[in-house]
Amino acid sequence: MWKTYSAGYIKQNRAICASVRVAAFIAALFLAFLCGLFYHFWQDDVAGVIEEEGAWHGRITGEFDEEDISMISSLPHVENVYVNEVLSGEDGMVVDIIFHPVRSILTDMPAIAAALGLEEEAVSYHYQLLSLYFVRIPGDEQPRLVMPFYLAIIVAVCVSMVLVIYNAFVFTMNTRVHQFGIFASVGATPMQIRICLLQEATAWMPARKMSRMTPLEAIRGSGEMQPVKKKHSPILSFLFGIEGELAGNALKAQKRAFRTSTLSLTLSFMGFMLMQCFFTLSDISTEETYFARYQDVWDIMVTVQNTGIDKIRKNDVATLRELPGVEDVAVYQKAEAVCKMPVTGLSGELTALGGLEALTKGQVIPTEGFLLAEAPVIVLDDESFGQYYGESAEGSIVINRVWDSLHSHFRERAYIPFVQEGQDTLMLCAKQDKGTAVVPVLAYTQEPPVLREEYADYGLVQIMPCSYWEQIKEQIGGAGQDTYIRILVDENLSLAELTELEQKAGQILGGASYAVESENRLQEKFTNNEMIAGYRFVLGGFCILLAVIGVANVFSNTLGFLRLRKREVARYLSVGLTPGGVGRVFALEALVIAGRPVLITVPLVSILTWMMIKASYLQPIVFIKRAPIGPIMIFVLFIFGSVASAYYLGGRKVLRNNISEELRNDMV
C-alpha cells in the first residue's frame, strides 16, 4: 500500500519532486566542484613549495654513518631518507627525512634526535610544507592561516549544501502534513510514515520529525505556530511597545521553523565578513611586503638561466641600456659563502644583545673565540658596481647590519651594526669546501644596492664587482646557476609599453642563445589582483548561496504559514490593532530575523580579525582605513531587503482577508 501511495504521489506531484531532485543535484555538483577546486589549490601549493624548497619534512645535521641512516630508514613511519649532498659540508652531514603519515613527525623526529644524541639545534623542520598538511610544529612563529581558512570555507559550504537538501525536503513535507495526519488518525504508525517518506528518498531527520507529530496536530496543521511556553520579550517590548511584544511572541512560536534561516544567514554573514577581512589583510600584507617595498627597486626582471655573470656579453647589456625608456640596468649573480670572524670583532650593539647566537636562538654558536656567519655574495657587473660605490675598485662592500629580532618584528625590522667597522679585511670561506679568501673591505654601509632581493637577516652581505669575483671564485665557490638583470624604466610608462619593453629585452637576450625568463612589475601586480578577485568571486558566491538558502527558508515559512498567520492577524485586528500596527509587527519580525545573525556575527568576526591582525603584526589603523565596509554593507542590505520583501508579500496577502471569515474558525 505504501509503495503504491508513494508511486502515485511522485507521479502526481512531478513539480515538487523535480525541485527536490534539482536541489540535491545542485548541492552535489557544487560540493564536488568545491572539493575539486580546493584540492587542486592545495596540490598546487604543495607542488610549489616542493619545487622551491624540496620535499623533505624534517632535517638533521651531524656526523652520521651508514648504520645511523639504516636505523632511520627502518622506522615504520619513515618513507624516505637521503643525504643532502648540497648542504653537507664542514658543519656535518645533512640528512633529509620524509614521513608517512606526515603527522608522525611530531613524535618520530624528537625520537630520532634522542636516539642519535643530537641537540635541539641540529633538528630543523620544513614549516611551510608541514603547514600545508595541517601539521603545526611547536616553535613555528609564522602565522600560517591560508589552509585553515580554506578548510573553514569548505566546512561552511558543506553545511550549506546539507541545508539546501534538508530545506528542500522539509518544504515538501510541510505541504503533506494534513495527509499524514489523516493516515495517522486511521491507524498508520510513526514507523510506517517514516518508511514511506524514506522510500521516496526523503531525508531521515525530516521523516522522523513528521512521524512524531500527533494525528490531531497534523490534521489541524498548527504545530509550527504554538510556542511551548509564553516568554516575555523585554528588549522588543521596551523599544517598540506592544507591537514589539507581539513580534517577539510570534518569533518564539516560529523558532524551530526559522532555525534553518538563522543558521544559514549567520554562516553567510560570518563567511562573507571573514572572507572580506582576510583578503583585505592579505592585500595589505602583499602590498607592504612586496609591491610597495620593491616599487622603486625594479620594473623588469630577466632571469638568464644556467649562465654565469661572466658569460653575459657586454654588448647585449649595453643594448639594453640604450633602449628608449630604460633608466638603469643592473646585472648580478648570487653566491653563498661564510665569514669567519673573531667574536671580539662583533659590534658593541650586537654584543650587548648576547651576540649572534641570541638572535639566531643558538643556531650560530662561537667555537674557540671564532664564529662562522653566513656571508651571501652579490656579484654586480663592473658598471653597476661603479655606480653603487662611486668608482671602480677591487674588494667588497659590506652591508654592515643585522636584524634585531629581539626588539622588532618582521614587518618593521630594526637593524643594528653587525661588526666593528675598523676591520680592513674579512675572511670568506667556501660553504661546502675548505677554500678561503681574504677579502679587502672597501666600505661599510647599511644601504644595499637597488635590487629586488631579500637579504639575509643574520648574514654579513658582501657586494663585489664581477672583475674581482673572477679572482676569488675558485676559492669561494658557491655561485648560483642563474644571472639576473634588473631594469628600471621611466615611471610614466603604461602597462602596454612596459610589456613591449620586456619583450624587447627578452628578444635581445634570447637572440644571444640564452634561456631567459622575464616578468614586469605592473603585470605582476595586475595578475595578483586578478587572482585575488577570482578567489573573492568564488568564495563570495558560496557566501551568497548560503544567504539565498536562509532567505528561501524565510520565504517558505512566511508564505507557507499564511493560513495560520491569517487567524493570528484577524485576532489582532479584532482587539483593536490597526493594519498599520500589524505591518509594524511584521517589520519588527523581519528586522529581528535579518538582524540577529548580524549581531551574532559582528563580535565574532571582530575578534577573529583582531587575532589575524595581531598575528601578522599589522597596525590596526592600517586595516581600519581599508576595512571592507562597503561590500559588507551591500551584503547586509541585500539580506535585509530580501527578508523585508518576504514579509511584505506575506503581510499584504494576510491583510487582504476578511476578519469575520477568519474568526469563524474554532482554532482562534
User: Each residue of 406-433: pLDDT tens digit?
Assistant: 888 878 888 999 999 888 999 998 876 6
Burial of 121 per CB tally in 10 Å (0-12, 13-18, 19+): middle
- For residues 357 and 364, the answer to whether their CB atoms sit within 8 Å is yes
- Measured between its terminal Cα atoms, the distance across the chain in Å is 37
Instruction: Show the cell assigned to 160.
Output: 550549506
Global pTM reads 0.65
**pLDDT attached to residue 203:** 46
Of 541, 433, 554, residue with least CA distance to 153: 541
Confidence label for 263 from pLDDT (cuts 50, 70 and 90): confident
CA distance 551 to 529: 32
Sheet with 93-99, edge to edge strand ranges? 78-83, 93-99, 58-62, 123-125
Whether 142 shows a pLDDT value over 60: the answer reads: yes
CB-facing half-sphere around the CA of 38: CA atoms within 13 A: 20
Does domain 58-125 match CATH 3.30.70? Answer: yes
Query: What is the average pLDDT across 623-647?
Result: 89
Beta-bridged to residue 553, according to DSSP, are none
Whether 668 shows a pLDDT value over 50: the answer reads: no
**Percentage of the chain surpassing pLDDT 70?**
80
Please give the mean pLDDT across all residues of the chain. Answer: 80
| pLDDT tens for each residue of 510-562 | 766 778 889 998 888 888 888 888 878 877 777 777 677 777 767 766 665 55
CA distance 123 to 59: 6
CA distance 83 to 81: 7
Q: Distances in Å between the alpha carbon of 37 and those of 51, 158, 181, 271, 539?
A: 21, 14, 45, 18, 11
- The residues of the chain that CATH labels 3.30.70 are 58-125
Confidence label for 227 from pLDDT (cuts 50, 70 and 90): very low
Query: What is the average pLDDT across 243-257?
Result: 75
- For residues 441 and 424, the answer to whether their CB atoms sit within 8 Å is yes
255-259, 430-434, 503-507: which has the highest mean pLDDT?
503-507
CA distance 311 to 419: 34
| pLDDT tens for each residue of 342-354 | 988 899 999 999 8
Bigger pLDDT: 523 or 262?
A: 523
Query: What is the average pLDDT across 197-222?
Result: 52
Query: What is the average pLDDT across 446-458?
Result: 89
| pLDDT tens for each residue of 571-627 | 777 777 778 888 888 888 888 888 888 999 999 999 989 988 888 888 889 899 989
Give the ranges where 390-520 is alpha helix by DSSP (H).
466-476, 495-510
Cα angle, residue 589 at apex, residues 631 and 572 outer, rounded to 5°: 160
- The pair phi, psi for residue 87, each rounded to 5°, is -90, -20
